[in-house]
Amino acid sequence: MKDINAPELSLGVVGAGAMGSGIAHVAALANITVHLFDNRDGAAAKARDGIAARLIKRAEEGKTSRETAALAVACLRVADSLEQLADCDVVIEAIVEDLELKREVFRRLESIVPARTILASNTSSLPIGAIAAGLAHPERVAGMHFFNPVPVMRLVEVISGPDTTEEVLAALTALGRRLGREPVAVKDTPGFLVNFGGRAYTTEALALVHENVATPAQIDAVMRDCCGFRMGPFELMDLTGVDVNFPVTRFVHESFFGDPRLRSTPFHRYKLETGQLGRKTQRGFFDYREGAVRPSPDAEVSTPPARSVVLAEPDAALAALARDCGAAVLATDDGTSPILAAPVGEDCAAFACRTGIDHRRLVAVDLAADTSKRITVMTAPGADPTVRGAAIALLATAKAVTAIADSPGFIAQRICAMVANLGCEMAQMGLAQPNDIDTAMRLGLNYPKGPLELADAMGVGTVFRILSEAQRLTGDDRYRPSQWLRRRAQLGLGARVV
């Protein structure tokens, strides 16, 4: 096995699509000789020319030096057959996600390359052990899962099969660093780390739409403005394509024997079946056709703002918010003013039942998320529309307001708690070390915080409470807390404590 940092290292890439081209791009920039093969006529040459054009353009724009671009272009080679990869030190397969096709490629490679050559798959979800099964030397096979677009995304998951040696894992980890990526060691589990952990963000958003709690536009706005995500879950699904995210979601759900925490909705499948795939078809969860207007996430203000409010329970933050918006906070109920509350995990119906207050005047405000830009409110069935409108108008004097139907945990609490819980479950399963889980989710999905960091920021006890309440109120084991989360909540520990 050659030293990965040797100047003369040679890399073979099988598959010249977006992923294979991206891997070849970053390898060439690392001054590694790249042999790019694709069984489609002219595909490898086209990919090489495209990489070269992008590198030259970056040099012309002053984003890199002309010398760097020229050296990288000189590293790119086109292989006309798999046999031309015979002298490569490492070969990375990046073809379609088809287990039998990948097995065939690895069988052929094993008969071509010498015993010292490391074989890696860029599969995003197929088990490495299944790909290596039946090979004469499975110990040199591992996963090296890059993320698209490879030149931009810094993460690479390094996955061990059942026979992979420590030397091979160390070499691929070193290769990842040489390519300028951040390697994270991950267990050979369906979806690995990022594609498994990423299910919570989108599927909980889909659950909110399924329950008619909120619209995609409302959910996206809340997750951007109140939680710091760069993209809302529906924008994200439209960008990646429903033809990509639905099959992955279904695969992961089925692979974990129907775990409800990984469940999607009929609406998700419907988008696939009707060809509404997102940006690539101009229609998905949003309409991207010329002239289309995206629905507003903001509540309509049609009544004068309330001049006074009553607090359902003592709450200094809620009182300060009401006063900042210009309302008086009454010490006793006058029988007409909106009754404000800030429940955690509960919906308005459960809160009113527990406290005995008038559900018709109850307006719940989510203070568990950032309210500097946007406030989320919800009301119980049978709410007085005039009181509801007056409360919304009051809050809208200072912030954007999103008004949703009754839901345990609003929008932000539900989605963030589910993201944190799945991160805790990954730690419980030992998919990776807690800090590596956070690193992978930040780099692989551009999350503002890793899931365990998020649990600590929200408060482990708060996350446990949100999920426990949601499970109790809905009767759905989708919300069952991870044992990792429960134990740390009970002991008052942080989510990253091992």
Annotated catalytic residues are 124, 145, 157, 195
The dihedral sign for the CA sequence 193, 196, 200, 201: positive
- Dihedrals phi, psi of 339, to nearest 5 degrees: -100, 115
Beta bridge partners of 203: none
In degrees, to the nearest 5, what angle opens at C-alpha 423 toward C-alphas 419 and 424? 120
Listed in sequence order, the residues at least 6 apart from 104 whose beta carbon sits closer than 8 Å to its beta carbon are: none
**For the chain, how are helix, strand and coil distributed in percent, rounded to 5?**
45, 15, 40
In degrees, to the nearest 5, what angle opens at C-alpha 347 toward C-alphas 346 and 348? 125
CA distance 495 to 498: 8
CA distance 129 to 462: 39
CA distance 160 to 168: 9
Q: Tokens 């807690």 — which residue? A: 434
**Residue 228 to residues 371, 372, 448, 459, Cα–Cα distance (Å):** 11, 11, 6, 17
The H or E element containing residue 218 is helix 216-225
CA distance 308 to 333: 10
CA distance 117 to 110: 9
- Dihedrals phi, psi of 265, to nearest 5 degrees: -135, 160
The dihedral sign for the CA sequence 423, 424, 426, 430: positive
